[in-house]
Protein backbone atom coordinates (compact mmCIF):
# COMPACT_ATOMS: atom_id res chain seq x y z
CA UNK A 1 0.00 0.00 0.00
CA UNK A 2 1.69 3.15 -1.10
CA UNK A 3 0.87 6.65 -2.23
CA UNK A 4 2.50 8.00 -5.33
CA UNK A 5 2.14 11.69 -6.14
CA UNK A 6 3.48 12.96 -9.44
CA UNK A 7 3.64 16.58 -10.61
CA UNK A 8 0.55 17.39 -8.63
CA UNK A 9 -0.94 20.88 -8.97
CA UNK A 10 -4.14 22.37 -7.69
CA UNK A 11 -5.53 25.70 -8.75
CA UNK A 12 -8.51 27.37 -7.04
CA UNK A 13 -11.00 29.25 -9.21
CA UNK A 14 -9.09 28.66 -12.38
CA UNK A 15 -9.76 31.14 -15.13
CA UNK A 16 -11.03 33.90 -12.83
CA UNK A 17 -9.20 36.94 -11.47
CA UNK A 18 -9.12 35.13 -8.12
CA UNK A 19 -7.09 32.24 -9.50
CA UNK A 20 -4.63 30.92 -6.92
CA UNK A 21 -2.16 28.08 -7.26
CA UNK A 22 -2.45 26.26 -3.93
CA UNK A 23 -0.30 23.26 -4.81
CA UNK A 24 2.43 23.67 -7.38
CA UNK A 25 4.00 20.69 -9.13
CA UNK A 26 4.54 18.46 -6.12
CA UNK A 27 5.94 14.91 -6.35
CA UNK A 28 6.65 12.38 -3.60
CA UNK A 29 6.03 8.82 -2.53
CA UNK A 30 4.95 7.40 0.79
CA UNK A 31 5.55 3.75 1.61
CA UNK A 32 3.53 1.28 3.63
CA UNK A 33 3.93 1.73 7.37
CA UNK A 34 5.79 5.03 7.17
CA UNK A 35 5.12 7.95 9.51
CA UNK A 36 5.38 11.07 7.38
CA UNK A 37 4.87 14.61 8.61
CA UNK A 38 3.88 17.55 6.43
CA UNK A 39 4.97 20.94 7.72
CA UNK A 40 4.80 24.49 6.46
CA UNK A 41 3.23 27.82 7.34
CA UNK A 42 -0.51 28.43 7.16
CA UNK A 43 -1.39 28.91 3.52
CA UNK A 44 1.52 26.82 2.25
CA UNK A 45 -0.86 24.37 0.60
CA UNK A 46 -0.80 21.54 3.15
CA UNK A 47 -4.57 21.27 3.48
CA UNK A 48 -5.13 21.39 -0.26
CA UNK A 49 -2.47 18.74 -0.70
CA UNK A 50 -3.94 16.25 1.75
CA UNK A 51 -7.47 16.70 0.46
CA UNK A 52 -6.26 15.38 -2.85
CA UNK A 53 -4.89 12.22 -1.27
CA UNK A 54 -8.39 10.81 -0.94
CA UNK A 55 -10.07 12.59 -3.80
CA UNK A 56 -12.00 15.23 -1.87
CA UNK A 57 -10.33 17.58 -4.29
CA UNK A 58 -9.56 16.41 -7.79
CA UNK A 59 -6.09 17.48 -8.98
CA UNK A 60 -5.97 20.25 -11.57
CA UNK A 61 -3.03 18.43 -13.12
CA UNK A 62 -0.70 15.61 -12.19
CA UNK A 63 -1.45 12.24 -10.66
CA UNK A 64 -2.23 10.77 -7.26
CA UNK A 65 -2.08 7.01 -7.13
CA UNK A 66 -3.11 5.04 -4.05
CA UNK A 67 -2.36 1.33 -4.18
CA UNK A 68 -2.85 1.23 -7.93
CA UNK A 69 -6.03 3.32 -7.95
CA UNK A 70 -5.71 6.70 -9.53
CA UNK A 71 -7.69 9.68 -8.30
CA UNK A 72 -10.06 10.78 -10.99
CA UNK A 73 -13.73 11.60 -11.20
CA UNK A 74 -14.66 7.91 -11.35
CA UNK A 75 -17.03 7.39 -8.46
CA UNK A 76 -16.12 3.74 -8.04
CA UNK A 77 -12.40 4.46 -7.75
CA UNK A 78 -13.07 7.34 -5.37
CA UNK A 79 -15.08 5.09 -3.09
CA UNK A 80 -12.25 2.57 -3.09
CA UNK A 81 -9.64 5.25 -2.39
CA UNK A 82 -11.65 6.84 0.43
CA UNK A 83 -11.83 3.43 2.11
CA UNK A 84 -8.07 3.12 1.89
CA UNK A 85 -7.17 6.67 2.92
CA UNK A 86 -8.84 7.95 6.06
CA UNK A 87 -8.76 11.70 6.62
CA UNK A 88 -9.09 13.29 10.06
CA UNK A 89 -9.88 16.98 9.70
CA UNK A 90 -8.99 19.77 12.12
CA UNK A 91 -11.28 19.91 15.15
CA UNK A 92 -13.02 16.67 14.11
CA UNK A 93 -15.12 16.71 17.30
CA UNK A 94 -17.34 19.38 15.75
CA UNK A 95 -18.41 16.70 13.28
CA UNK A 96 -20.06 14.44 15.85
CA UNK A 97 -23.80 14.18 15.29
CA UNK A 98 -25.22 10.81 16.36
CA UNK A 99 -27.12 10.04 19.55
CA UNK A 100 -24.50 7.67 20.88
CA UNK A 101 -20.77 7.31 20.54
CA UNK A 102 -21.09 3.82 19.06
CA UNK A 103 -23.54 4.98 16.38
CA UNK A 104 -21.32 7.89 15.46
CA UNK A 105 -18.26 5.70 15.04
CA UNK A 106 -20.36 3.28 12.95
CA UNK A 107 -21.26 5.98 10.41
CA UNK A 108 -18.24 5.30 8.18
CA UNK A 109 -18.41 1.47 8.09
CA UNK A 110 -22.16 1.68 7.41
CA UNK A 111 -21.54 3.93 4.42
CA UNK A 112 -18.99 1.42 3.22
CA UNK A 113 -21.67 -1.29 3.31
CA UNK A 114 -19.92 -3.36 5.95
CA UNK A 115 -22.09 -6.01 7.67
CA UNK A 116 -23.56 -5.15 11.04
CA UNK A 117 -21.55 -7.80 12.81
CA UNK A 118 -18.28 -6.60 11.30
CA UNK A 119 -19.26 -2.99 12.01
CA UNK A 120 -19.73 -3.73 15.70
CA UNK A 121 -16.33 -5.40 15.90
CA UNK A 122 -14.66 -2.48 14.16
CA UNK A 123 -16.43 0.12 16.29
CA UNK A 124 -15.32 -1.57 19.48
CA UNK A 125 -11.76 -1.91 18.26
CA UNK A 126 -11.53 1.68 17.07
CA UNK A 127 -12.88 3.11 20.33
CA UNK A 128 -10.48 0.95 22.33
CA UNK A 129 -7.56 1.93 20.08
CA UNK A 130 -8.30 5.55 20.86
CA UNK A 131 -7.74 4.84 24.53
CA UNK A 132 -11.38 4.96 25.57
CA UNK A 133 -13.33 2.38 27.56
CA UNK A 134 -15.87 0.93 25.10
CA UNK A 135 -18.33 -0.27 27.75
CA UNK A 136 -18.28 3.08 29.43
CA UNK A 137 -18.68 5.41 26.46
CA UNK A 138 -20.44 3.37 23.74
CA UNK A 139 -23.96 4.30 24.77
CA UNK A 140 -23.16 7.81 25.93
CA UNK A 141 -24.05 10.84 23.89
CA UNK A 142 -20.89 12.20 22.29
CA UNK A 143 -21.87 15.61 23.61
CA UNK A 144 -21.43 14.46 27.22
CA UNK A 145 -17.73 13.75 26.77
CA UNK A 146 -14.83 16.06 27.51
CA UNK A 147 -13.14 17.90 24.65
CA UNK A 148 -10.22 15.49 24.37
CA UNK A 149 -12.52 12.46 24.52
CA UNK A 150 -14.79 13.89 21.84
CA UNK A 151 -11.83 14.30 19.58
CA UNK A 152 -10.72 10.73 20.10
CA UNK A 153 -14.25 9.48 19.36
CA UNK A 154 -14.23 11.45 16.14
CA UNK A 155 -10.89 9.91 15.17
CA UNK A 156 -12.25 6.45 16.04
CA UNK A 157 -14.93 7.15 13.45
CA UNK A 158 -12.25 7.30 10.78
CA UNK A 159 -10.31 4.31 12.16
CA UNK A 160 -13.47 2.19 12.06
CA UNK A 161 -13.41 2.42 8.27
CA UNK A 162 -10.25 0.37 8.51
CA UNK A 163 -8.12 2.55 6.24
CA UNK A 164 -4.52 1.58 5.49
CA UNK A 165 -3.40 5.17 5.44
CA UNK A 166 -4.59 7.77 7.93
CA UNK A 167 -4.06 11.48 7.37
CA UNK A 168 -4.27 13.71 10.44
CA UNK A 169 -4.66 17.46 9.96
CA UNK A 170 -3.43 19.18 13.15
CA UNK A 171 -4.90 16.49 15.40
CA UNK A 172 -3.75 18.09 18.65
CA UNK A 173 -4.82 21.68 17.95
CA UNK A 174 -6.36 23.21 21.08
CA UNK A 175 -5.67 20.21 23.33
CA UNK A 176 -3.87 20.63 26.64
CA UNK A 177 -0.50 18.91 27.22
CA UNK A 178 -2.02 15.74 28.63
CA UNK A 179 -4.59 15.51 25.85
CA UNK A 180 -1.81 15.98 23.30
CA UNK A 181 0.30 13.27 24.85
CA UNK A 182 -2.61 10.80 25.06
CA UNK A 183 -3.52 11.38 21.44
CA UNK A 184 0.04 10.89 20.21
CA UNK A 185 0.24 7.65 22.19
CA UNK A 186 -2.92 6.46 20.45
CA UNK A 187 -1.53 7.42 17.05
CA UNK A 188 1.65 5.47 17.87
CA UNK A 189 -0.49 2.43 18.75
CA UNK A 190 -2.37 2.67 15.48
CA UNK A 191 0.89 2.93 13.65
CA UNK A 192 2.20 -0.21 15.31
CA UNK A 193 -0.68 -2.06 13.65
CA UNK A 194 1.04 -1.38 10.35
CA UNK A 195 -0.93 1.69 9.26
CA UNK A 196 0.70 4.46 7.32
CA UNK A 197 0.43 7.79 9.12
CA UNK A 198 0.53 11.22 7.51
CA UNK A 199 0.58 14.03 10.06
CA UNK A 200 0.10 17.70 9.29
CA UNK A 201 1.39 19.75 12.20
CA UNK A 202 2.78 23.09 13.28
CA UNK A 203 4.58 21.64 16.26
CA UNK A 204 8.18 21.07 15.22
CA UNK A 205 8.98 19.39 18.53
CA UNK A 206 6.30 16.74 17.97
CA UNK A 207 7.09 16.26 14.31
CA UNK A 208 10.82 15.84 14.91
CA UNK A 209 10.20 13.31 17.65
CA UNK A 210 7.58 11.21 15.86
CA UNK A 211 8.07 11.22 12.10
CA UNK A 212 10.29 9.01 9.94
CA UNK A 213 10.27 11.56 7.20
CA UNK A 214 9.18 15.16 6.81
CA UNK A 215 7.78 16.96 3.77
CA UNK A 216 8.31 20.72 3.91
CA UNK A 217 5.79 22.84 1.99
CA UNK A 218 6.18 26.50 1.16
CA UNK A 219 3.96 28.59 -1.12
CA UNK A 220 2.46 25.48 -2.66
CA UNK A 221 5.79 23.87 -3.44
CA UNK A 222 7.46 20.90 -1.80
CA UNK A 223 10.76 22.57 -0.95
CA UNK A 224 12.43 19.81 1.00
CA UNK A 225 11.94 16.25 2.14
CA UNK A 226 14.02 14.09 4.41
CA UNK A 227 14.42 12.64 7.88
CA UNK A 228 13.94 14.97 10.86
CA UNK A 229 17.71 15.02 11.32
CA UNK A 230 18.16 16.17 7.72
CA UNK A 231 15.35 18.70 7.76
CA UNK A 232 16.47 20.31 11.02
CA UNK A 233 20.21 19.96 10.41
CA UNK A 234 22.43 22.96 10.89
CA UNK A 235 23.04 23.24 7.16
CA UNK A 236 19.34 23.57 6.63
CA UNK A 237 18.79 26.66 8.75
CA UNK A 238 17.78 28.50 5.60
CA UNK A 239 14.41 26.73 5.67
CA UNK A 240 13.28 29.42 8.10
CA UNK A 241 11.27 27.01 10.16
CA UNK A 242 10.82 27.14 13.87
CA UNK A 243 13.36 24.46 14.61
CA UNK A 244 12.63 22.08 17.48
CA UNK A 245 13.89 23.44 20.79
CA UNK A 246 16.43 20.65 21.22
CA UNK A 247 17.85 21.23 17.75
CA UNK A 248 18.39 24.85 18.75
CA UNK A 249 20.13 23.72 21.91
CA UNK A 250 22.42 21.39 19.95
CA UNK A 251 23.30 24.22 17.56
CA UNK A 252 24.11 26.58 20.42
CA UNK A 253 26.24 24.01 22.25
CA UNK A 254 28.15 22.94 19.14
CA UNK A 255 28.85 26.54 18.23
CA UNK A 256 30.92 26.97 21.38
CA UNK A 257 33.22 24.19 20.19
CA UNK A 258 33.01 22.53 23.57
CA UNK A 259 30.28 20.10 22.58
CA UNK A 260 29.70 17.79 19.69
CA UNK A 261 26.00 16.87 19.75
CA UNK A 262 24.96 14.75 16.76
CA UNK A 263 22.07 15.70 14.51
CA UNK A 264 18.66 14.25 15.11
CA UNK A 265 18.23 14.02 18.88
CA UNK A 266 14.74 15.32 19.49
CA UNK A 267 13.56 13.85 22.79
CA UNK A 268 14.50 14.96 26.29
CA UNK A 269 15.58 11.49 27.41
CA UNK A 270 17.86 11.04 24.38
CA UNK A 271 19.34 14.49 24.75
CA UNK A 272 19.97 13.90 28.44
CA UNK A 273 21.98 10.78 27.62
CA UNK A 274 23.97 12.54 24.89
CA UNK A 275 24.83 15.42 27.21
CA UNK A 276 25.76 13.05 30.04
CA UNK A 277 28.15 11.28 27.69
CA UNK A 278 29.57 14.61 26.49
CA UNK A 279 30.15 15.83 30.02
CA UNK A 280 31.90 12.50 30.57
CA UNK A 281 33.96 11.87 33.64
CA UNK A 282 33.56 15.41 34.94
CA UNK A 283 30.46 14.52 36.90
Partner 1 sequence: MFKDVTFGQYYPSDSVVHRMDPRFKLVIAFAFIIVLFMINSFAGYITAGLFVFVCVAAAKVPVKLLFKNIKPLWFILLFMFVINVFFTRSGNVLFSFWILKITDEGLIKAVLMLIRIVMLIFFTGLLTLTTTPISLTVGIESLLSPLKKIKFPAHELAMMMTIALRFIPTLMEETDKIMKAQMARGASFDTGNLYQKAKSMIPLLITLFVSAFRRADELALAMTARCYNGGEGRTRMNPLKVSGVDYAGAVMTVLFIAAMIMFNYVHVI
Partner 2 sequence: MDNIIEVKNVTYRYEEDSKIQEAALDGVSLEVERGSFVAVIGHNGSGKSTLAKHLNALFLPSEGTVIVDGIDTHNEEAVWQIRRTAGMVFQNPDNQMVATVVEEDVAFGLENIGVPSPEIRKRVDEALETVGMTKYAKSSPYHLSGGQKQRISIAGVLAMQPKVIIFDEVTAMLDPVGRTGIIETAKKLNKELGITIINITHYMEESIDADMIYVMNDGKCVAHGKPRELFQRVEFLTELGLTVPIATQLAYSLNKAGVDIPCNLLTIDELAEALCRLK
Q: Which residues of this protein are in contact with partner 1, per CB under 8 A? A: 12-13, 51, 54, 56, 75, 79, 82-83, 86-87, 89, 92, 94-98, 107-108, 110-112, 143, 157-158, 161
Contacted entry of partner 2, partner 1, none for residue 148, CB cut-off 5 to 8 Å set by kind: partner 2
Tell me the closest approach of the beta carbon of residue 196 to partner 1, in angstroms: 16
Cβ contacts of residue 112 below 8 Å, gap of 6+?
A: 83, 161
Contacted entry of partner 2, partner 1, none for residue 249, CB cut-off 5 to 8 Å set by kind: partner 2
Site for partner 2 in 233-252 (CB under 8 A): 242, 245-246, 248-249, 252
Cβ contacts of residue 260 below 8 Å, gap of 6+?
A: 254, 278
**Pattern 20-59, binding to partner 2, x per CB under 8 A?**
---------------------xxx----------------
Dist CA 64 CA 80 (whole Å): 14
Alpha helices in the chain (DSSP H): 46-52, 75-84, 101-112, 116-129, 134-137, 147-159, 177-192, 204-210, 228-231, 245-255, 268-279
The reply on whether position 78 binds partner 2 by CB under 8 A is: no
Residues making contact with partner 2 (CB under 8 A): 41-43, 144, 146-148, 173-179, 202-203, 205, 242, 245-246, 248-249, 252-253, 256, 258-259, 268-269, 271-272, 275-276, 278-279, 282-283
Amino acid sequence: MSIKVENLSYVYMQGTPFETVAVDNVSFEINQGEFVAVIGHTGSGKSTLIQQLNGLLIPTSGRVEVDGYEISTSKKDLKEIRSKVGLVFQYPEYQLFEETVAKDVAFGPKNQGVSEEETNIRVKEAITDMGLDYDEVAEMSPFELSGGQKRRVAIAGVLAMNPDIIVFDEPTAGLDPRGRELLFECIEEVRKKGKTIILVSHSMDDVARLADRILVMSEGKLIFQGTPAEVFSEQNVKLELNAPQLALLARKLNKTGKFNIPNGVFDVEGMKNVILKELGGKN
